[in-house]
Amino acid sequence: MNILQLCCFEESVKIFDYLTRFLNNDSAIKFELAKHRDNVMGVQAIHLASAGGNRYFIDKLIEQYGADPKEKTEYN
């Protein structure tokens, strides 16, 4: 689990916002963080945000990190 996934799982808005501001000029790293799959369930940050039902995270992941809302889990 990377820091972006952890923010979505724990619904840590302040840390998520800080991370987004910190990585503002580095879209490649943001995209890499969003595409990373968890080793256990094969999920990405977008899946964790969706499971929590937090629209804020879902929207920001798509807009700021290039997450694909149609992405399936690795084991789906």
pLDDT, tens digit, 9 for 90 and up, residues 42-56:
999 999 999 999 999
- Tallying the residues shown for the chain, one arrives at 76
Is the confidence at residue 18, as pLDDT, over 90? Answer: yes
The set of residues, in sequence order, having a beta carbon less than 8 Å from that of 27 and lying 6+ positions away, is: 66
Mean pLDDT of the chain: 94
Could you tell me the pLDDT band of residue 39, with boundaries at 50, 70 and 90? Answer: confident
At 66, the amino acid letter reads: G
Question: Cα–Cα distance between 19 and 68 in angstroms, integer?
Answer: 19
User: Is pLDDT above 80 for 75?
Assistant: no
In degrees, to the nearest 5, what angle opens at C-alpha 58 toward C-alphas 72 and 28? 80
Predicted pLDDT at 76 = 59
pTM, rounded to two decimals = 0.91
Cβ–Cβ < 8 Å for 4, 45: yes
